[in-house]
Structure 1
Amino acid sequence: MRPYSLTYICCQLLLLLALLPLRGNAQGKNFKTGPAPAWLAPYTPDLNKKPNDKDISDGYFLLLYEEQQQAELKSSYHHTIRQIVSEAGIQNGSEISVDYDPSYQQLVFHQVIVRRNGKIINKLNPARFEFLQQEQDLSRFIYSGTFTAYLILEDVRKDDQIEYAFSLTGRNPIFEDKYFNNFYFVTYQPIVNYYKNLIAGPHRNIHFKTFNGARMPEQKALNGLNLYEWNIKDLEEMEEEDSQTPSWYNNYPYVQASEYTGWKEIADWARQINKHTPPGNGIKTKVAALKKEAGNDKEIYLQNAVRFVQDDIRYMGIEMGENSHRPNSPEKILSQRFGDCKDKSLLLCTLLQADSINASMAYVNTYSKRKVAEKLPSPYAFNHAIVYVTLNGKHYWIDPTVSYQRGGLKNFSQPAYQLALVITDTTTTLTPANPVSTGSIKILERLDFPRRFDYPATLAVTSTYTGKFADNTRYDFATSSGKDKEAAFQKYYKSIYGEVTTTDAITLQDSTNSNKIVVLENYEISNPWKRDSINKGTFTAKAVAQALVSEIAFITDTKRKSPILLKYPEDLDYTIEVILPSDWANSSDALHIKNEYYQFDYTQRVAGRSLFMHYQYKTFNDHIPVDFIPQYVKDVTAIDQLTAQQFSWTQEGTSTPVASNKGINWLVVAMALLFTAFFTYLAWKYYQRSVLPVKYPVNSIPIGGWLILLAIGVTFTPFTMMKDLLDTETFSNSLWEQLANRKDLGNISVLQLFLVAEIIANTFLIVYSILLVVLFYNRRDIFPFSLATFCFAVLVINVADVHLTAHLFKTPLSPNLPYFIIRQLVYMLVWVPYLLKSDRAKSTFTIPHHSQQEEEHKQLY
């Protein structure tokens, strides 16, 4: 066992302590208690105000939120009063927490009190505070040194009022003495009194800019200083935006304040903190090695240097104090082999400049992107550092924090940060930083359905990624185990097709020189055919363009007030080949959309048993503006109808694939309407008949007794029959198109005549069922005979239809036929005798047609 020195052990313990959440008391945490500062501006809130009860959600509201800032003293004062109104408020409002950095900030608590029934209870006890170093950004490999002072209040009750105040003094020295800040005026809970201010010396030329309807501050004089204040009586509560908005979108009212007058000042400040130091021995050795590998080819040198910094220098940021913005020396980063974005960017610049390659650091905002130009200049305008390179007349934007990036410079994938501040002595404005080469995704899914219903289907997927998509895929596979990746892919297809199992291990083919990755997947789908609950003897299956669905935001709200996020840049070429047991009918569905934001193309191609559904989707912008949303909703609604296709197949041995999005056969619809009109005329003539001889006077009792049950069946029968007819494929073009291609069924004309006869029979029964409703509620004397005839006709027509369908289409008899016959016979044996024998029925259905009544009346008188 290797012995370790005491120094080594101590270093490891210190590193462990630095990276784990810390907990402790106030000692060494730059914390104390004391009176409120004397520099505060006078402010008197209205403590008698109350919010609307319906706006209180967490069991408490803020009676006061006060924040005052003193730029000259680098201090801020915070004063809050919480009003507990329910038991929920005791749970949600009984803790106090403050985040701060003790390396340059001092936290002073001035008061913590509870008001109860007119009494004041002092809760300010320094020994009760806990100090936690939770490091919420540690999951992103960033260690900032921020602490949370945490106080859990004891004995809090309903109707208590909790008041506390504290000050934070100190500012990160990296920002020198320039003032800049953002003042947000947003709340997610009721605030009755809301006050903010800024107190600054008259020598400061502070610029203000408002966003999203925020108010400019009122300017006053205070003890020889300038007082900028916001005293807001009614602060509007905000609703959080959904995840479909672009990262740069911000609808919160806020005011930006900054002493900086232009981007040149920010570039000059950045140059001072990103100074290039003379290379040390480590840098010189690495430069020599890179030159030896590249020979005299600067492009190869650039490529190798980028890969070294990206892959060999791991991402880890210890950003305490000035190191939040000041990078460590390249020599140190090279030695420790880790650093954050600014560390890695400065190291890459140093390596490139050593070979006379023009390289500069650049600041970008990964969230605001091009919207950064709308902000006032300040160091807070940026959150990320990259490298801008010029070589042989070409420009490159390189992100040293990207891992597993491959390919030559000509197809190098560059980030889409849109705008950047290049850190040079000549910089005066922002520079466009748009991607040059982005890559594409090409997917082919081959879905082969079996010729038997009890056999599994197979799914073979070939996905080809280039450019940034290859980089992302390479990183994804490198950071996941093969087992986890297979499980994730299998789960993905299970959500679409149900019982899916992997038949072969996922294969990854990586061509690093061309930056191209091909991923091969193979699956088996158990029980792909599902029995159609409506059309007996028919089975259905589906194909879903899930890869397309994942890329598009399917929004339906045309009155949306916020822009819609588009994945940008996006270039998807997606084909689904569906192979069914028999040849397809011709298919001509297509959709083409192109505008300044996106392009979508969909086409279908038939080749024997295969249907090729081809989708192409590209984006040209990162969002859909609000005024274009109605058109976008219209477009994605049309696209959505093409993302899933359902196919039908008759029972074993007679495959009849049918695409679910076929149009209507209007000739068949017209024929059905024509026969409906004809049978309606016959029903009207039949309605005028009566049971002869007509008895006069007419005595009829109201419908009642067991006839109430019969009324339910008679009333709903027309609706049931119409639904069954509309649910069939008789009115679909696809049925008639495929019928013409069914050479295995013999004389197609006979089949077509049979389908026409089905339509005639169905319209006859529907019109007849409606006639029964009219006869029943008019208590006509011909109803009993008409119902008996109808029941017999339904039985004969349906039995004949099932047998002829099986014979002509060469399918087995429906297994539900015996149940139908039994059910229909039971119905007839119950109601027909009841109507003929029951005294109530005989006394109810006695009314003849009015023409027969008039004729009988004339004969009598």
Structure 2
Amino acid sequence: MTLTLKKILLLLLAVLPAVTQAQKKPGTSPTPSWLVPCHPNLQQKPNAKHISDGFYLLLAETQYHAELKSDYHHYIRQIISEAGIQNGSEISVDYDPQYEKLTFHRLVVKRDGQEINRLPGAAFKVLQQEEELSRFIYSGTYTAYLILEDVRKGDQIEYSYSLTGSNPIFDQKVDEQYYQVATEPVVNYYRNIIARPERQLHFKPFNDAALPQQRNWNGFTVYEWNTIRLQENDNISNLPSWYNPFTRLQVSEYNNWQEIARWAQHINTTAAPGPAVQNKIAALKQQAGNNPEAYLQAALRFVQDDIRYMGIEMGEYSHRPNTPDRVLAQRFGDCKDKSLLLCTLLNANGISAHMAYVNTELKGRVAQRLPSPTAFNHAIVYAILRGKTYWLDATLSYQRGSLASFCEPDYQLALVITDTTTRLTPIHKINSGHIAIRETLTLPAEEGQDGALRASTAWYREDADEQRAALAAASLQDKEATFLAFYRKFYGDMTLKDSMAVRDNPDSNVLRVQESYVIRHLWKKDSATNKLLFSVIAQSPSDILPYVTDGNRKTPLAIKYPYDLDYQIMVNTPIEWSLEQTPLHIKNDYYQFDFTATRSGKQIVLAYTLKTFQDHVPVAFMPQYAREIREIQKTTSLDLYLRPAFVQPVSQPGNRNWLAVVLAICSAAVFAYLAKQYYQHSVLPVRYPLEPLPIGGWLSLLAIGLVFSPMFELIVLCKAEVFNYETWATISARKDMGNISLVQLFLIGEVIIRVFMLCYSVLLAVLFFNRRDTFPFALATYYFITTLYLFFFNRINSYYFGDSTQGGVWTPNSILWPLLRMALWVPYLLTSPRAKATFIMPHPARLED
């Protein structure tokens, strides 16, 4: 039966040296004699408003004797409430029994001026706290845990202990980082380092940390400080991994990066490869032939895929790697184990390879720290082949593609472990990943029908590696459920239409996933407008560019880097929609975003591109970022409104709406009477002799238009569907149009206005051929009324009957026609001498006068 990883770990723990077991239990002893005298003021009290857990620290004292490798801690807790009894009655100390010994010196409860010694009967529980076990890292750290009994309000809990010993891997050198902030109020604070005068300690403050005061004491140099700040509640999210806002002080006995490189070279030196490693080298050579690139790739693939990641980082093996022979035999190792094995395999075939230390969180900011082995948290491989540099991470899984397409890790700086290294080496990122997303939405033509969504995503290079690993960690069914849940947040009730298809091309390192969904009852009724609504939702860039409410943020904002996205949403619509979305282009030193919305026939395409250039947005740029991110968010949705298509009924004999016909006839009579009245009106004084010029020149073209205009208006009026009874019956039966009376009023108004335009066109022809003086003004008024009517008619008609485009610009209902004619003929009639001399005839009644 195959053992699980946890069972293997238990077997390994069972064979640990017995001495380790003996060192786990804490011991007791008197207070050390080497302590520097500390004189706290135990009568002081903190500001009550800062106390949150029902207790505060009356004293926090830490003294470290660098020569004895002893770290002494002394605390006094003041319990002030019932909450303090709950939160302050437990004592816990973390330590590594591989090289540290825990000794308690004092444990008393002070109550009503009396001291109650709790140390003799203290029943410490030793617990194994492996916080990184989920990451397959076992460090051997333990916690001594004690729950105090009989703690009361007003008690003082005083305890002290020492941790003696240090990890031998660091050559007994001082290398620490001290935070000068506390989560609870500390009334008296004291910390020191006691060292021989010849030791050279380097101090570097961060965020205005206090440097220690230095003095001589009993032949030693004492570095001490007594300031600590109360940590403010800072709930700001999306901080870059390298950003640390807390006040802290780094202490290091190392002088430069060259010293760290030599130290690392010493602990990474191993003997010649054993038989198993030599056999593997021979197999890799045979597999690659005489191709060194193929050998490098095969060796990397073997270490990445066949040597699983797990680290037993106990004691000096926190930084010392296991030998390649042992790693190969056990078939597991952590980053330094796998990197050293890879270096051994590559160097055996003439490929120059060295281990390199990096910090995956600090990245390039590691240069701001003092030289120290603990400045790094990860190991990779620096290889040179045919003059080209490769940065290889042996802990990656499912990395595919050719060497030329390998993406450099975004660690920015590395300490290459060689005997010539004197400084950190930049990691220049040349290749990056790329993501291409294509979503196709198909919208139905009617309410109640289902829509469709097809999504195709392609990941390239390092993005393909990451997604390949994610897919391998879950079943296809789980992934389908995850992806379906993702789209349901956008479109509601959805089901999977076809099984998710995964196509992987390891040679080109491209991974493609295709998804197909059904969107149930796609159109939703908008209660505000009573229209059918569907909102196209783009995948929000907030995971890449987090949303901020304003530009007053005082800390840098982390953004995903590197990131390169090409994203399109194609919407197949049942009708042609008009688009009012304006393009958006944003580019600065940190990111670039582009958006366009285009329409081709019945398809709408929303195109997005997003690329980042750094891993954060600085504070100084935050006001502009806040404005730009709001603009970006506005592009991530598009509301489409649909009126169910208005069915144009076929006119048949006997189906006329005679009320509409009678209304048209009555309107025609009224407008004919008004036209007669207007015909009798004159605007020019009568001048003799009346000799108007005959109609000629450009006026001949106007004459042709005025002759055919009444015919056109009559045809349009006769074809109007308002005269068809079925049209009125259909409207009356529809419940999606809101107030039906308003719709019917719109149709009645259309009849009246169309009759008015017919009568007006006849009047214009009569005025024109009689060369009446009122013709120029009447013609200008006609064009203006026509333009105004078509403008409102098209929009109201679109609102009620779902026509989103009002037809083309050259159709009869386009307002372009009256505008062009008005722009041509009105100025001509006002400025042309011929026109002014033609239209001068008053009404005949004026002549008789």
Q: 1:500 aligns with which of 494, 518, 529?
A: 494
What is the aligned partner in structure 1 of residue 73 from structure 2? 78
What is the aligned partner in structure 2 of residue 677 from structure 1? none
What is the aligned partner in structure 2 of residue 196 from structure 1? 191
Tell me the CA shift for residue 38 of structure 1: 1.1
What is the aligned partner in structure 2 of residue 613 from structure 1? 606
Q: Distance in 1 between matches of 2:107 and 2:39?
A: 19
Mapping 1:763-774, distance limit 5 Å: none
Q: Does 1:801 align with 2:742?
A: yes
3-state DSSP of counterpart to 1:193? strand
Tell me the CA shift for residue 435 of structure 1: 2.3
* Structure whose CA Rg is larger: 2
Mapping 1:364-763, distance limit 5 Å: 364-536=358-530, 538-587=531-580, 589-651=582-644, 653=646
Tell me the CA shift for residue 653 of structure 1: 4.7
Q: 2:282 aligns with which of 285, 288, 296?
A: 288
3-state DSSP of counterpart to 1:476? helix
What is the aligned partner in structure 1 of residue 143 from structure 2? 148
CA gap of 1:255–1:241, structure 2 versus 1, over 3 A, is farther
Unaligned runs of 5+ in 2: 649-715, 722-737, 749-795, 803-849
8 A contact 1:26–1:127 mirrored in 2: no
Q: Distance in 2 between matches of 1:15 and 1:181?
A: 32
TM-score by length of 2: 0.75
Moved more, 803-812 or 140-149: 803-812
Q: Distance in 1 between matches of 2:513 and 2:64?
A: 56
8 A contact 1:440–1:571 mirrored in 2: yes
8 A contact 2:445–2:644 mirrored in 1: no
Q: One-letter code of the match for 1:133?
A: Q
Q: Distance in 2 between matches of 1:53 and 1:575?
A: 57
Q: One-letter code of the match for 1:478?
A: A
CA gap of 1:349–1:619, structure 2 versus 1, over 3 A, is same
Mapping 1:801-840, distance limit 5 Å: 801-804=742-745, 809=797
- 1:578-632 C-alpha deviation (Å, 9 max, x unpaired): 2222112254510111111111111111111211111101111111111111111
Tell me the CA shift for residue 337 of structure 1: 0.4
What is the aligned partner in structure 1 of residue 29 from structure 2? 34
What is the aligned partner in structure 2 of residue 336 from structure 1? 330
What is the aligned partner in structure 1 of residue 161 from structure 2? 166
3-state DSSP of counterpart to 1:114? strand
Q: Distance in 2 between matches of 1:168 and 1:513?
A: 54
Moved more, 396-405 or 40-49: 40-49
8 A contact 1:84–1:160 mirrored in 2: yes
8 A contact 1:548–1:574 mirrored in 2: no
8 A contact 2:558–2:617 mirrored in 1: yes
CA gap of 1:562–1:205, structure 2 versus 1, over 3 A, is same
Tell me the CA shift for residue 809 of structure 1: 4.2
8 A contact 1:143–1:318 mirrored in 2: yes
Q: One-letter code of the match for 1:568?
A: Y
Q: Distance in 2 between matches of 1:502 and 1:805?
A: 44
8 A contact 1:62–1:81 mirrored in 2: yes
Tell me the CA shift for residue 186 of structure 1: 1.3
8 A contact 1:113–1:164 mirrored in 2: yes
Q: One-letter code of the match for 2:420?
A: T
Q: 2:344 aligns with which of 350, 369, 378?
A: 350
Moved more, 543-552 or 390-399: 543-552
Q: One-letter code of the match for 2:45?
A: K
CA gap of 1:14–1:525, structure 2 versus 1, over 3 A, is closer
What is the aligned partner in structure 2 of residue 253 from structure 1? 247
- 1:537-576 C-alpha deviation (Å, 9 max, x unpaired): x021112222533322111231111101011111011111
Tell me the CA shift for residue 812 of structure 1: 8.7
CA gap of 1:653–1:262, structure 2 versus 1, over 3 A, is farther
CA gap of 1:19–1:534, structure 2 versus 1, over 3 A, is farther
Identity %: 51
8 A contact 1:25–1:130 mirrored in 2: no
8 A contact 2:20–2:97 mirrored in 1: no
- 1:641-665 C-alpha deviation (Å, 9 max, x unpaired): 111222211235589xxxxxxxxxx
Q: How many residue pairs were aligned?
A: 669
- 1:815-839 C-alpha deviation (Å, 9 max, x unpaired): xxxxxxxxxxxxxxxxxxxxxxxxx
Tell me the CA shift for residue 28 of structure 1: 4.2
TM-score by length of 1: 0.74
3-state DSSP of counterpart to 1:407? coil
Q: One-letter code of the match for 2:383?
A: V
Q: Distance in 2 between matches of 1:86 and 1:286?
A: 66
8 A contact 2:354–2:417 mirrored in 1: yes
Q: Distance in 1 between matches of 2:417 and 2:261?
A: 5
What is the aligned partner in structure 1 of residue 814 from structure 2? none
Q: One-letter code of the match for 2:370?
A: L
Tell me the CA shift for residue 12 of structure 1: 6.7
- 1:310-350 C-alpha deviation (Å, 9 max, x unpaired): 00000000000010000000011011100000000000000
- 1:707-749 C-alpha deviation (Å, 9 max, x unpaired): xxxxxxxxxxxxxxxxxxxxxxxxxxxxxxxxxxxxxxx99x9
Tell me the CA shift for residue 462 of structure 1: 0.4
Tell me the CA shift for residue 266 of structure 1: 0.2
Q: Distance in 2 between matches of 1:579 and 1:20?
A: 66
Q: Does 1:276 align with 2:270?
A: yes
Tell me the CA shift for residue 301 of structure 1: 0.4
Unaligned runs of 5+ in 1: 656-745, 752-796, 815-861
3-state DSSP of counterpart to 2:742? helix
Q: Distance in 2 between matches of 1:206 and 1:654?
A: 89
3-state DSSP of counterpart to 2:132? helix
What is the aligned partner in structure 2 of residue 660 from structure 1? none
Q: Distance in 2 between matches of 1:180 and 1:333?
A: 29
Tell me the CA shift for residue 170 of structure 1: 0.2
CA gap of 1:442–1:146, structure 2 versus 1, over 3 A, is same
Tell me the CA shift for residue 466 of structure 1: 0.4
Q: Distance in 2 between matches of 1:800 and 1:459?
A: 38
8 A contact 1:26–1:126 mirrored in 2: no
Q: 2:52 aligns with which of 49, 54, 57?
A: 57
